[in-house]
Amino acid sequence: MLNAQGRRDKQSAIHAQYGYVMDKDSLTGGFMAKAGYSRVMGDKGFLGKVEGFYQDYKITYLDNQILPYQKYGLSVSAGYSYEGLSPVFINGWIGAYGAFEKANDGNQNDPKFSAEIPAKVSGITYGLTGSAEVEVMLTRKLSVLVDYTQFYDLKSKFSKSNYAFFGGLKYYIN
Short-list 38, 54, 139, 138, CA closest to 91? 38
Q: Quick one: CA dihedral 129, 47, 173, 140, positive or negative? A: negative
Q: Over the stretch 19-66, which tens digit does the pLDDT of each residue have?
A: 998 877 766 789 999 999 999 999 889 999 999 999 999 988 888 899
pLDDT in tens, 108-156: 999 999 999 999 999 999 999 999 999 999 999 999 999 999 999 999 9
